[in-house]
Structure formats: structure tokens, C-alpha cells
Amino acid sequence: MEFDYQELIESVQDMVFAVSPSGGLIYCNRQFALFSGMKKRALAAAPLLDLVHPPDRSRVERMLQETLQGSARTFEARFVGESGTPLYFSTNMTPIREGGHVTGAIGISRDINERMVLEQQITGLKNFQESILKSIQAGLITIDLEGRITSFNAAAGEVLNCSARQAVGSPLEQIVGEEAAGIFLQRVVRGDFPTNRELPLKTPAGYETYIGFTVTPLLDELGDRTGTILSFRDISLIKRMQAEVMRMDRLASLGVLASGIAHEIKNPLAGIKAMAQTLQQDLDPEEESYDYLERIVRQVNRLDELLKTFFDYARPRPPQLKLHRIQDILHEVMTLVDKRLQEKEIRFIPLIPAETPAVFADFHQIQQVILNLIINAIDAMEEGGELVIQAGPSRGTALRSPAAGADPDRRFVEITVTDSGVGIPEENLEVIFDPFYTTKAQGTGLGLSIVYRIIAAHNGEISVSSKLGEGTTFRVILPTEEESK
């Protein structure tokens, strides 16, 4: 029977060995000898650790010592045999006891190299996939059939202002909103996979953006759908730039139209005024007809002033650019509006630090811009309120980024004019800079259009935000130095 056991051990494909308390081999089977490329006799008393790949020796030595102290251990390590190539083995090591004492250890090692190579390949592919997902600029989300997020890359977090920890495992509608989630998932169910779609997105957390997206099914090896892949990009800047280009085209067209209309009207008005004044010379100032003619002249003068405004809009004077302090420009404006502020009981709060950089601008044109914005703010606060003007350094304009051809090192100053007035309806914010748009009974609708063109001529930017009943903020960005050629 003893011979049968020994023959069984010798015939197995696993390496079987026994070691002494000092770590030397006291027995090894045929498979162990074949692997090492040595005769059994030569292996007698050889240290087991000599066959262990050097980087793994400290760990195997620790496992061996713990086994010799009476605790069975299982570990994976690389052994180096006759070929010289380290191969992975899984080893079970059990203490040998005689008379209650540990007198050695017996080990069984099974070749797991193929499995370890496959695991390394899978891990490498996984790491490669994760590195690609992390490095691509597009947001990428995968969703299972129950609508829960299973993966969420870094770019998706930046676009949606959300972390992967918050997103993974959550229902898609919890991250992107119920309406957007419905659009994404229903398209997959219907088999509707557009190559280019855009969507204004407002998340449940209140974050708003505009995305371009594509939706594709996630399939298994049999071609069955196991989920959904959502790829998207933040295109808010592109949408703003498109709106900017459209507005500039519209303003240019209307400018040409305004110039033509003003020119055609100016000559007949001059004739009407000349004839009215001639008739006045033949009348007694006490006569009723004289008063009628006086009114005609006044209305002609009023129209003439309006035509001058048209010409200012249609053919704006090129800015005379020099460095000017915002404080100096504001001081000149305040001398013109201070009385109106007091009459309306509006508290004026200037927040302009002394170290605010000077702007590279036309003094009188920027004075006209700030004056127009302040007058609009005063008109919006019939019951009084607060007018806050702030200024400080800015990182630049979003629409005039380096991608749009601007100097990336150019510096800017941001000026904000904030009132606590009635606010502007959201639907009017898109047209507020359009010519002839006004909510004032006596307004021409050219004030903000002229402001817009002045800021554009300075290579700056102007934007507006408002809430009904809370007030309005105009944000102006101006350069602090000449653009590099």
C-alpha cells in the first residue's frame, strides 16, 4: 500500500515537495525534478527559495515560516525552472507534525501560468479601456436595461457637474433629469440613433448646460442588447458663439438699413424745418399759427436728434484706444446721474478696488456704455433700490477664447452693473441687444444696441442675467492691453 501512495504522488502533474524546518528540500516528486531540470539527488537539501523568482522570495519565505509555525498557507508565486522563465504556481503548504511538534512542511504547487497570463491580459485591457475613457474629452455613460448608470467617465462628470461616485448605480433620470433620460432611453428602444442631436439640459441639482449627444445600444457577444451607451459633449460655448455670430450679422444688416432710412429722411426734414422757420418770420409771435410752426420746428429737431442716434448706430466712430482707469470713467458718469439717483432714492454702491487694472479703451465710448446701463437700472427701480457697480481682473471672455483666435495671454477687466429693479422676462433676454427693441414708451430701442456695438469694437463682451422681481446684472469685459499682432 505504501508503494501505491508513492507511485501516485510521483505520477501527478502537480509539483509535490517537502521541506525541513531550515527550508531545505527533503523530498520532491518527478514533476518537481522535471521542472527544475535537476536530479532528485541534486535537489536533496537544496533550499526551496533557490527556485523562487527573486521578487517573490520574501513573500514565499514569510509563507514558509508561518507554515513551519503550524499554520497552513496558500499563496501564488513564480518559480524559475530549467527554462529560466518565471512561471506562476499556486501552492498549498501544510505543516508536518510528529509528536505534537512541527517537523517540516509539505507543499503542492499547481501550474497557473496560463490563467495568470489571461488575467494579466484582461487587467491590461481593462486598464487600457479605463485610460481611454478617462482621457477622451467626450462624456461617456453606460446604462443597464433597468436605466441605472454602470459607468461614468471623468469628462461626463465635468459636463454634468457630478462625480462618478454619485452617478454610478443611480437611475439615469436622477443625474440628467427625467425628460432628458426619457429622450435618451426611448431612442434606443425605438432604434432611433441620430448621428447629431442637441439638447438643452437641466439636471435635478439645478445645473444647466447644452449638449450634443449620440445614443447607441450596448450589445453582448450574441448581439443582444444589454444596455445603452450615451456619448455627449458640452456645446454651450458653441451655441453662444452661434448666437453671437447671428446677432452680429443681424446688427450689421440693420445698421445698413438704419443708415439708408436716416439719410432719406434727413433731407426732407431739413426742408420742412427751413420752410417752417421762413413762415415764422412773416408771422407775429402772438398769433396762434406761429405757435403751430414752433411746434413743428421742435418736432423736427427731435427727429433730427433721433437721426443722429441712427447714424451713431449705423456708422459708429472707431474707438480711440488708450489706458483709462475705471474709477475715472465712472466719476464722469456719476456727475451726470447723481441727481437722478437721489430723486429716485437709489443707494449707489461702488465696489472698485484701487488696484483694478486700467482698461485699454475709448474713454468717451465706455462712458456712454456705463451711462446707458446706469440709466436703464434707474428706470427699472421706480420705487428705489440699490445700484452696485463692481470691477476687477478677469480671466477673459468665453467667446473670444484662444480657439477663436484671441491672444491667450491677454488680460481683461470685468465690470458688473447690478440693480434691484423689476427684472427682465427670460424670453426678452435673447433680444435685448437687438435694434429698436424697447419696453419704454419714449425709447428708441437703440441704446443697448449701440452699447453692444461699442463693446464689440473693443474686442470685449457684454452679457445680461436677470430674474423677475429680483433685479438685473449686466456684465462687461474689456481688455487691459492692446491685442498682440
Q: 443 by DSSP, 3-state: which? A: coil
- The CA–CA distances, whole Å, from 154 to 39, 82, 165, 202 equal 57, 48, 11, 19
Closest CA to 13 of 2, 29, 27: 29
Distance CA 296, CA 281 (A): 14
Distance CA 346, CA 87 (A): 84
Closest CA to 15 of 78, 114, 108, 88: 108
Distance CA 451, CA 462 (A): 9
The tens digit of pLDDT for each residue in 193-209 reads: 554 577 777 777 777 77
Closest CA to 479 of 390, 387, 415, 383: 415
| pLDDT confidence of residue 474 | 92
The CATH class given to the 2-112 domain equals alpha beta
Instruction: Name the phi and psi angles at 331, rounded to 5.
Output: -60, -40
Which has more confidence, 190 or 22?
22
Which has more confidence, 178 or 130?
178
165 φ/ψ sector (left φ>0, alpha ψ -120 to 50, else beta)? alpha
The cell for 311 is 447714424
Residue 484 has pLDDT above 90, yes or no: no
Distance CA 423, CA 246 (A): 25
Every domain range in the chain assigned CATH 3.30.565.10:
322-479
Cβ neighbour number for residue 90 with a 10 Å cutoff:
16
Fold of 136-234: Beta-Lactamase (3.30.450)
Q: Is 237 within 8 Å of 226 (Cβ atoms)?
A: no
Closest CA to 478 of 317, 384, 367: 367
Which helix (H) or strand (E) element contains residue 390? strand 385-394
Residue 400 has pLDDT above 80, yes or no: no
The tens digit of pLDDT for each residue in 121-170 reads: 887 777 776 666 666 667 888 888 888 888 888 888 888 888 888 888 88
Every domain range in the chain assigned CATH 1.10.287:
239-314
Residue 403 has pLDDT above 70, yes or no: no
Band of residue 405 on the pLDDT scale cut at 50, 70, 90: very low
Burial class (CB in 10 A: 0-12, 13-18, 19+), 319: middle
Every domain range in the chain assigned CATH 3.30.450.20:
2-112, 136-234
- Tallying the residues shown for the chain, one arrives at 485
Closest CA to 156 of 143, 174, 141: 141
CATH homologous superfamily of 322-479 equals Histidine kinase-like ATPase, C-terminal domain (3.30.565.10)
The cell for 278 is 421762413
Distance CA 403, CA 235 (A): 14
Percent of the chain with pLDDT over 70: 80
Q: Is 256 within 8 Å of 314 (Cβ atoms)?
A: yes
User: Which pairs with CB-CB distance under 8 Å and at least 24 residues apart come from 290-299?
Assistant: 296/272, 297/273
Burial class (CB in 10 A: 0-12, 13-18, 19+), 187: buried
The tens digit of pLDDT for each residue in 253-305 reads: 666 566 666 666 766 777 777 777 777 777 777 777 777 778 887 887 777 77
| pLDDT confidence of residue 108 | 93
Q: For the domain 239-314, what is the CATH code?
A: 1.10.287
H runs (alpha helix) in 12-103:
30-36, 40-43, 57-68
Please state the pTM of the whole predicted model: 0.46
Which of 230-239, 329-338, 397-406 shows the highest mean pLDDT? Answer: 329-338
Which helix (H) or strand (E) element contains residue 228? strand 225-234
* Mean pLDDT (whole number) for 389-402: 66
Cβ neighbour number for residue 206 with a 10 Å cutoff:
7
Distance CA 136, CA 158 (A): 12
